[in-house]
């Protein structure tokens, strides 16, 4: 005789109720009913195995998705760290530039700026930016900046 492997559910007959029904049947009919019940139990077990396999497959897929999300989050964190590092470097660089701009030039630099300003105003043809730069060991653009600094300084004094 087979054992009852079917899960207990409200719509199934209890073993006692099945035994009562089987008493009224012939031996051949009893064997057929028992075979049907065993087949049904076997089918339920197969369905449970299929469900379990599907659940395991879904769990594996979920694990893969979680691992992919972790990789993305890790990459995003690294990007954020990189951006933060670049931003901090930029802030430091800007702060250094602000401090440099607000710093008063030395007396020597102010004197040099004044000399460049004076020479350039005395004879623009003789004292090109390039020649002034060579004279003071700087580029022509730096000589022009020195001229502009001095001009700005004396303009403030006239106000």
DSSP character string of 16-62: HHHHHHHHTS-HHHHHHHHHHHHHHHHHHHHHHHHHHHHHHHHHHHH
Q: What's the average pLDDT block by block, 10 residues per block, for the chain (159 residues)?
A: 52 75 77 79 79 86 92 94 95 89 84 94 93 94 94 83
Question: Residue 6: its pLDDT value, please?
Answer: 52
Question: Residue 102: its pLDDT value, please?
Answer: 75
Tens digit of each residue's pLDDT (9 = 90 or more) over 135-147: 999 999 999 999 9
Question: Residue 23: its pLDDT value, please?
Answer: 79
Angstrom CA distances, 78 to 70, 73, 84, stand at: 12, 9, 10
139 Ramachandran zone, left/alpha/beta (phi>0; psi -120 to 50):
beta
- Rounded Cα distance between 27 and 33, Å, is 10
Tens digit of each residue's pLDDT (9 = 90 or more) over 101-115: 777 888 899 999 999
Neighbours of 138 (CB within 10 A): 17
Is the pTM above the cut of 0.85? no
């Amino acid at each position: 005789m087979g054992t009852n492997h079917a899960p207990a559910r409200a719509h199934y007959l209890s073993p006692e109720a099945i035994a009562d029904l089987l008493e009224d049947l012939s031996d051949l009919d009893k064997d057929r009913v028992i075979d049907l019940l065993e087949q049904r139990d076997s089918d339920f077990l197969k369905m449970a195995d299929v469900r379990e396999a599907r659940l395991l497959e879904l769990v594996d897929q979920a694990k893969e998705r979680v691992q992919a999300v972790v990789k993305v989050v890790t990459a995003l964190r690294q990007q954020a760290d990189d951006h933060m590092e670049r931003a901090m470097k930029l802030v430091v660089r800007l702060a250094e530039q602000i401090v440099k701009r607000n710093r008063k030039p030395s007396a020597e630099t102010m004197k040099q700026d004044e000399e460049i300003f004076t020479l350039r105003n005395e004879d623009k043809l003789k004292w090109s930016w390039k020649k002034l730069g060579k004279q003071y060991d700087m580029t022509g653009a730096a000589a022009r900046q020195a001229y502009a600094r001095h001009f700005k300084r004396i303009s403030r004094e006239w106000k």
